[in-house]
Structure 1
Amino acid sequence: MNIGRVVTAMVTPFNEKGQIDFPQIKVLLDYLIANGTDAVVVGGTTGESATLSLEEKEALYAESVRAAAGRIPVIAGTGMNDTHATAELTIRAEKANVDGIMLVAPYYNKPSQQGLYEHFKTIAGKTSLDVMLYNVPGRTMVNMLPETVIALSQIKNITSVKEASGNLDQMTAIISNTPDDFTVYTGEDSLTLPSMAIGATGVVSVASHVIGSHMQDMIARYLKGDIHGASSIHGRIVPLMKAMFIAPSPSPVKAALAFQGINSGGVRLPLIPLTEEEKTIVQKALETIHSPFKQ
């Protein structure tokens, strides 16, 4: 499955009652597609998966597939810290006709490396879809080591990893020791360019909600050998990337989308909206990048 260079970890739009705003999914997808997104992950961390019921996740997958209408791949975030439940949700996601699956390392229970291997192997065996692993130790409290990813890359439908440890040495080990068709994506927006310099394919991004086109331009310049041009864009967009994490995600990016004219609603507790001071930081960061999107 070709998912491109810039994959957006999409927010889940909510209405005023805190329910999924299904009509707004197409508005958001149209905007993302028009502004540099090659594929989306729905129902992941940025999509507030921890607060979505299984029924809501199924409905979100199905509506995202319908709204995307084949224009870009839709990847379902089905990972949880219960292997059986994750396998069941993955089966349901495949029935919703998503294009691929993203599986986060099990959080809270802190499995061993062998436990991680067995978890992902078991779930991959329940689906015919391509699987992207997701390593984010800052949230899960377990770091999936390169040796584990390398072993998992031998399983036919485990085809990529979103590596959000922020450790370039760890990414290098994975890139150097996995098959050529196994793709590595950084999960850290500000490491997009450094990661590509060591052989990563691209980024699974939060900031691409609002600077997807800039990120595509940066990547295109790098691939053409215009290192100076790429680094210049990198230097200009990193402050905006940092602003997307001044508070727990996705509160900042939902505020940024609102400033761009795209309503994705609020966040569900235990997350809270930005303060006025935080909103000002986001707004000023956006003002240095580009003008609002016109619906």
Structure 2
Amino acid sequence: MTLDLHGIIPPLVSPFTADEQPDLDALRAEVRYHLDLGVHGLCVTGSTGDGQMLSVDDSVAIADTAVRETAGQVPVIAGIIQDSTREVIRYGKAIAQTGVDALQVTPVHYLFQPDEERTIEYYRRVAEETGMPVVIYNVIPYALIPATTVARILNEVPNVIGVKQSGGNIHQLADLLHMNPAGGKVFTAVDDLLFPSYLMGAQGAISATLTVVPELCLQQWDAVQRGDIATALELHNKQLPIWRAIDGPNMTPRIKAALAMQGRNGGHSLSPLTPVSDTERETLRTAFKAADIKVTN
């Protein structure tokens, strides 16, 4: 399959059993749910998938399950959230054996940050030594890669094929889209501003809202592609309260609660993430009702 990343690429949750083992049956069901709706790709083991908490064995098991269940219907991206070039490459080589189409890699982010040249070399080494296409995951608030550096990486490093621009809000995304790097695609992960991101030229999205309400996000993407701005804006106003309801320090437990309300199984969350409160559940229910999303429990 020729790698064509574009459009709606939901970052899936990583379901766990009560004893904190990957629940691969629940993951298969989520993969199938999204494929049946017609998403353009899937991402696993990112921050929505608690990638920072996963062992290499967990990451491989989750990626392998997604690849097998997808069976080539759409591209599968696997996230790596580690804090050294050595560890990223170790994870990347192991995950590459599953047949994923690309890796999504954060910058290193614990306390100390490399300079621009070391950041470029970091992505160069990851792409070369894993032999995989790489998407930059620019999300860490205190280790944000400036738009100018992202553009350099995309233009100068072979096999770095895109960026998921999350950190720095829409201003960083606007700067990056204005630079229009020829070496890779720009995906938005600014959840409350997906609609204007598309209008500015983002070539798709990889963000949590897509996982919770993929049907609304697909409808919005299609509306923008056909120039139906009124419909896209209406869908934005439905999506926005849902994003506000899932955004928070315990975001992945909130997302799993949101899936459960729709009759989907996101599995258990990992310790020590904070469980969802009754107030948070009610906020989710209210947002779903306003967006005409059916709640089953």
Q: Which runs of 4+ in 1 moved over 3 A?
A: 178-181, 290-294
- 1:144-196 CA-to-partner distances (Å, cap 9, x unmatched) read 01121111112221111001124333223322334446211111211111111
On the 8 A contact 2:10/2:211 being kept in 1, the answer is yes
Question: What aligned pairs does 1:1-295 form with structure 2 within 5 A after superposition?
Answer: 1-108=3-110, 109-138=112-141, 141-154=142-155, 155-180=157-182, 182-292=184-294
| Structure 2 CA distance for aligned equivalents of residues 157 and 148 of structure 1 | 16
Quickly say closer, same or farther: Cα 1:97–1:30, change in 2 above 3 A. same
Structure 2 unaligned segments of length 5 or more: list them.
Answer: none
Q: Partner amino acid for 1:144?
A: I
Quickly say closer, same or farther: Cα 1:247–1:81, change in 2 above 3 A. closer
Deviation at 1:276, TM superposition (A): 1.2
| Structure 2 CA distance for aligned equivalents of residues 99 and 63 of structure 1 | 14
Quickly say closer, same or farther: Cα 1:18–1:79, change in 2 above 3 A. closer
Query: How large is the Cα RMSD of the aligned pairs?
Result: 1.8
Q: Secondary structure at the match of 1:9?
A: coil
Deviation at 1:113, TM superposition (A): 2.2
On the 8 A contact 2:56/2:94 being kept in 1, the answer is no
Quickly say closer, same or farther: Cα 1:280–1:167, change in 2 above 3 A. closer
Quickly say closer, same or farther: Cα 1:27–1:243, change in 2 above 3 A. same
Deviation at 1:293, TM superposition (A): 8.5
Quickly say closer, same or farther: Cα 1:178–1:158, change in 2 above 3 A. farther
| Structure 2 CA distance for aligned equivalents of residues 265 and 151 of structure 1 | 40
Quickly say closer, same or farther: Cα 1:223–1:126, change in 2 above 3 A. same
Greater mean deviation of Cα atoms: 238-247 or 57-66: 238-247
Q: Partner amino acid for 1:127?
A: T
Q: Secondary structure at the match of 2:9?
A: strand
Q: Secondary structure at the match of 2:286?
A: helix
Deviation at 1:291, TM superposition (A): 4.2
Q: How many residues align?
A: 292
Structure 1 unaligned segments of length 5 or more: list them.
Answer: none
The TM-score with structure 1 as length reference comes to: 0.93
On the 8 A contact 1:111/1:142 being kept in 2, the answer is no
On the 8 A contact 2:26/2:267 being kept in 1, the answer is no
| Structure 1 CA distance for aligned equivalents of residues 175 and 104 of structure 2 | 21
